[in-house]
């Protein structure tokens, strides 16, 4: 058996998230279907993160193993031929048998995009949250910085996600920037709880609307109750940009 690391990009609009679900189209589901056709038997596929319905990815990572001796380059082409156009394998490489897309990850980087102009062009509407109303963006920038560090993020986690041993996570960077009409929130951390990024964005938007202050972030984290933070921002503005791995864990192999 050869073990693989696949990096995927997808438009999540028409999918019910990453994780396979009965009678629903999911990214993991279509990937498993494509690999099963190539392998001739069901293939176990693990993802680095279970993105929600409507969330996009530029750098989702999946791991799987195949007995089929097809060369790696041919396998990549075959997968993209069988996958729907909304999902592309952008890179494929052999990995050690110990590599696991989720458990081997050391960090993830997300972006959340808010479109600020009065009119949102149709060719970006699927990938941004359109919010043309007044926001104190300077206050939002200050609030974003308050999430950096190691914290208990129970106030920013929604019910219904996987049960985890601890709600403590480390955020390495958290910042807002402007790119034309896009207000972009960038966040990088060692892991994220269910809806955590979207709840952080909802909280930042409440700061921008002057419902909260930047200095309230510490109290929200200390509160440890979901009701203390802002509403969950819409899924379509969120994108998983990349997943990070220590080289010693990844152990890439030559095809």
Residues designated as active site: 52
**Strand bridging mode 46-47 / 238-244:** unpaired
Residue in the structure block whose two tokens are 């696991």: 100
Name which of 191, 152, 10, 164 is nearest 85 in CA terms.
10
Q: Give 89's strand partners.
A: 8
* 186 neighbors 113 (Cβ within 8 angstroms): no
169/180 Cα distance (integer angstroms): 32
Q: Give 65's strand partners.
A: 3
**Strand bridging mode 46-47 / 182-189:** unpaired
User: What sign does the dihedral 177-231-123-47 (CA atoms) show?
Assistant: positive
């Amino acid at each position: 058996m050869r073990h693989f690391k696949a990096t995927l990009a997808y438009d999540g609009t028409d999918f019910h998230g990453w994780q396979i679900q009965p009678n629903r189209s999911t990214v993991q589901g279509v990937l498993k279907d494509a690999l099963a056709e190539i392998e001739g038997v069901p293939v176990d596929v693990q993802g680095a993160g279970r993105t929600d319905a409507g969330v996009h990815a530029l750098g989702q990572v999946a791991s799987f193993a195949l007995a089929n001796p097809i060369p790696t380059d041919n396998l990549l082409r075959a997968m993209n031929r069988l996958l729907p156009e909304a999902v592309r394998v952008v890179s494929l490489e052999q990995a050690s048998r110990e590599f696991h897309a989720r458990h081997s990850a050391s960090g993830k980087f997300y972006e959340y995009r808010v479109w600020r102009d009065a009119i949102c062009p149709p060719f970006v509407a699927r990938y941004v949250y359109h919010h043309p109303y007044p926001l104190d963006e300077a206050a939002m920038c200050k609030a974003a910085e308050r999430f950096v560090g190691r914290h208990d993020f129970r106030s920013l986690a929604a019910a219904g996600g996987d049960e985890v041993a601890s709600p403590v996570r480390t955020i390495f960077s958290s910042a807002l920037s402007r790119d034309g009409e896009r207000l972009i929130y960038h966040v990088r951390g060692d892991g994220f709880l269910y809806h955590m990024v979207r709840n952080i964005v909802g909280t930042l938007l409440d700061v921008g609307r002057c419902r909260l202050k930047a200095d309230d972030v510490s109290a929200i984290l200390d509160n440890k109750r979901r009701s203390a933070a802002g509403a969950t921002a819409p899924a379509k503005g969120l994108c998983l940009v990349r997943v990070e791995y220590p080289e010693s864990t990844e152990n890439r192999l030559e095809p």
